[in-house]
Structures are given as structure tokens and as C-alpha cells.
A = this chain, B = another copy of it.
């Protein structure tokens, strides 16, 4: 018997990707689809790639529209999820794809988002230590940010195994869909094609405290993260290049062993064979994570690179994976490790 799922914010990129996945999920029936400025429009005009839903019409995001569902996904702008979630009742599984409930530290939230902290929900990255247990049976899930997903999966095994000093340096390239569907001049195709450009340099990106939270938990000490995001000329994908100084005695073998152990049984994370490096094209449209490690002995650093699809594992696929766990379904249901390439 399928659960009935509503999607609030069905016209954006996160909502569209979620619907793409839910359409082939054997345990889900797609219920209400809501939007705000786009309410009343056919989904076929807004998400022309979702042919089976072309004739569905968006409703306004109201408690009435969202009532009567087993699962409600919130793909709303930051700061709007709490008010909607409150009206849904405790027995409904609410999965927030926004940032509102990710951070544990209210001061961090207020410093980076500038509004009162709404609270903290179980965090939807099951691969982290204790991650699955936190999600089982939960009625609330905070889906991680796309960059924190890529970076935490790249670096937490090194920290959990005590291999890395507590100062990480991360440079990540993201496809443009990570910046959303709201039209802004710097996101025009004419601007992004042929160009690489950074933003939020110097510690200002809102995903930074979330990375610090995850890596510090794994390390058992406060980890700093120097994070530089860059916008790459591609629609999807995140390539995260992460490094930290190796602790004394660390070897290439001990690094690799830590990652082999961490990911031996993970259905979505693949430590690549030595000599092969991640590429975002290989995980295009899939929930897979490609990871590879190196030990740069001359520079004394552990270098870890991960590739994800920012919309799938980085947002909507991660949301479905968490839903599966929360509902007691097989974690991989409706999700794929097969990329669409070339």
C-alpha cells in the first residue's frame, strides 16, 4: 500500500527532481502539488520533462492542500518551513528540503541566516555515524544542503578515524541548478557558459556551519572549514575537493583503509578503485556518490574528492533516502546508482 506524498514547492528545481524520483518510487503515490506564484499553472508548462504529470495543476500552498497525506515534502524558500510544518500534525512525516532545521546551534543559524532559529530536526545523511538510527521512525527530517552532503561524505571518515588535523580546506564546483530557478542576471546562460566564478568566498557561505557541525561531530573536536564554492558551466553536479593536514603517522594505506571501512556497506557511496577519479557526469541524475582519496606526502595532506548530483543525492534523492528509512522501507527503494552519461 503506497504512502501518499504531497510536494510543497513543486515548480522549482528541487521540487521537480523530487517528483522525477517519486514518479518511479513503487511505494509512493503522488498527491497534492503546490506552489505560490505558480499556483494555477499546469505542471507541463513548469516542468516539461515530467510528462506523466503534465496535466496536473499546482494548488496554492495551504494547510488544506497539504492535508490528508502521509508524507509532505517542503521545497520552500528558507524560513518558510516552520510555519507550514506546524499545521501538519505530528503523525505526518515532514521532510524539509530547506535549511531551517539543519543546524543545532541557534547562534550559527542566526549569524548565517539572520532570523530566529526554528529548531533542529533529525538530519537526513544516513551515512554519517549514527545517521540511520536518528532517522528510523522519525516524523521530521531535515535534508542536508548539497555542499554539506558532498563535503561531509568526503571528509568524515578521515575525521572519524583520527587521521586529519582539525582544519579542512574545501573548494567545490557546483552546477547552476544549485542556485535555483529564480532568474538573476549572473545565472543567465550567456553569463555562465564558458565561465568559472567563485562566490561566498572567505567563510560567508551558509553551508559552512553545517559542514563544521558534521565534521566536528565525526572528529570529536571543533573542525574549522575554509570553504570556497564556485559556479561551474553545467546544469548539475558538485565536485568537492577537500583536504586536511595528515596527522603524524598517517600513510596512504591507512587513509584508504579508513575509507574502505567507512563505505564497505553503503549502498550509494562508492570508493573508486585506485587510479580512477570522480566525475560529476558519472553520477548525473543518480543518487550515487563517487569518492577517491590521495595522500600527498610532499604537502603532508590528505586529499579527498567527491562527486554527487546536487539535485539528487544533494537534495531530492537524499530526501527520498531519508523518507525510506523513516518509513521503514528498504533504503534504496526508488533510487538508483546509475548515472545518465555521456
Contacts and interface: CB of A to CB of B under 8 A. Distances in A.
Interface in A163-204: 167, 169, 171, 173, 175-177, 179, 181, 183-185, 187-199, 201-203
Contacts of A24: 336, 338
This chain: copies in complex: 4
Given A181-B188, A203-B298, A305-B201, A276 B193 contact: no
A195 B337 contact: no
A191 B194 contact: no
Interface string A235-246: 111010101010
A202 B251 CA distance: 13
Chain A interface, DSSP helix/strand/loop, else mixed: mixed
A320 to B, nearest CB: 15
Interface in A252-289: 270, 273, 276-286, 288
A132 B192 CA distance: 35
Given A49-B340, A169-B301, A198-B241, 12 more contacts: A47-B341, A54-B270, A169-B243, A171-B228, A173-B196, A192-B193, A194-B234, A201-B292, A203-B296, A226-B296, A227-B299, A285-B285
B173 A230 contact: yes
A5 interface: no
15 contacts: A44-B273, A49-B286, A51-B337, A52-B337, A54-B270, A169-B169, A191-B281, A194-B237, A195-B281, A196-B237, A196-B307, A197-B239, A228-B243, A230-B241, A235-B342
Nearest to A300: B224
Given A49-B283, A50-B338, A303 B173 contact: no
Contacts of A175: 190, 194
Contacts of A282: 48-49, 195
Interface in A132-176: 167, 169, 171, 173, 175-176
A193 B197 contact: no
A23 interface: yes
Interface of A: 13, 16, 20, 23-24, 42, 44-45, 47-52, 54, 167, 169, 171, 173, 175-177, 179, 181, 183-185, 187-199, 201-203, 208, 224-228, 230, 232-237, 239, 241, 243, 245, 270, 273, 276-286, 288, 290, 292, 294-301, 303, 305, 307, 336-342
Given A49-B281, A51-B270, A303 B194 contact: no
A187 B181 CA distance: 10
Contacts of A171: 171, 228, 241
Given A234-B194, A239-B196, A243-B169, A338 B51 contact: yes
